[in-house]
Chains A and B, each alone.
Chain A
């Protein structure tokens, strides 16, 4: 049972994480950036669950539950920030909010 590698699951997690990272870098809309963050967090959780399944232990699932909690907290604060950005700048473009001239 343990002889079968879980490469495929970890590969899927890696691909999903890379896709989320690509979306994060390419898109300029704040809502899409938050969605890409969700994809990346989900991919990280997938890697944990795959590893937990590999060893037959519940720890991977527990870490996924923590990631889920963190994602919920992050997205609620992030979406409140999106609302504030839209009220102040009347746009969802992140470049419009670069007031620090970074």
Chain B
């Protein structure tokens, strides 16, 4: 259904604009998560359900949790409790909640009408993706695993607390 695509696209653009203009990092993260979820809806409508699930699980789930952890770590101190009080104000939750409610409505509509795809796109099954991924693209999978290992070691090395040696 084309309308689902357009509504999700508008939600994505609005939430992205709000995300890059917020002053508070946590508010920006909320809008960014809504943006990623709406892109996931776009993926689903485009006939890519596997990638839509990955977008929700990995992007909106794992990567955004990393951001939240770091933002929370950086806010330690006296100002943290005051900031916490500000975040709990209901007004701050209204924007992301409304945008997310629109997306939930869309998902409910999609679930009740399973065969509605935008622009007549065909569903590309996860099985086909897996066969291609572990067939011709196998070298890419190996390289991705090497990249993740490098990122793991690098993040561990950079993130640990230096014990006075390289401290300025």
Which residues of chain A have a CB within 8 Å of any CB of chain B? 1, 4-6, 8-9, 12, 15-16, 19-20, 22-23, 26-27, 29, 31-32, 34-36, 38-39, 42, 46, 49-50, 52-54, 56-62, 64-66, 68-77, 79-84, 86-88, 92
Indicate whether B133 reaches chain A with its CB closer than 8 angstroms. Answer: yes
Kindly identify which residue among B20, B51, B151, B158 contacts A19, using a CB–CB cutoff of 8 Å. B20
Output the least CB separation between B56 and chain A (Å). Answer: 12
Kindly identify which residue among B19, B62, B124 contacts A57, using a CB–CB cutoff of 8 Å. B124
Q: Is the CB of B124 within 8 A of A35?
A: no
Output the least CB separation between B114 and chain A (Å). Answer: 17
Counting from the closest, the 7 A-B pairs by CB-CB distance are A23-B20, A73-B151, A80-B158, A80-B159, A53-B46, A76-B155, A4-B119
Q: Is the CB of A76 within 8 A of B12?
A: no
A39: which B residues are within 8 A, CB to CB?
16, 19-20, 32, 35
Kindly identify which residue among A19, A65, A69 contacts B13, using a CB–CB cutoff of 8 Å. A19
Which of B67-75, B78-86, B87-95, B100-108 sits within the interface?
B67-75
A22: which B residues are within 8 A, CB to CB?
20
**Residues A58 and B13 in contact in the complex (CB < 8 Å), given A9-B46, A52-B48:** no
- Describe A's contact surface by its main secondary structure: helix
**Residues A49 and B46 in contact in the complex (CB < 8 Å), given A42-B39, A92-B74:** yes
Q: Interface residue tally of chain B, by bracket?
A: 35 or more
Indicate whether B154 reaches chain A with its CB closer than 8 angstroms. Answer: yes
Q: Can you identify 30 A-B contacts, CB atoms within 8 angstroms?
A: A8-B5, A12-B12, A16-B12, A16-B16, A19-B17, A31-B67, A32-B20, A32-B25, A35-B32, A39-B20, A39-B35, A46-B43, A49-B51, A50-B46, A52-B48, A53-B122, A54-B121, A58-B124, A58-B128, A61-B51, A62-B132, A64-B54, A66-B140, A69-B144, A72-B58, A72-B63, A76-B152, A82-B70, A84-B159, A87-B161
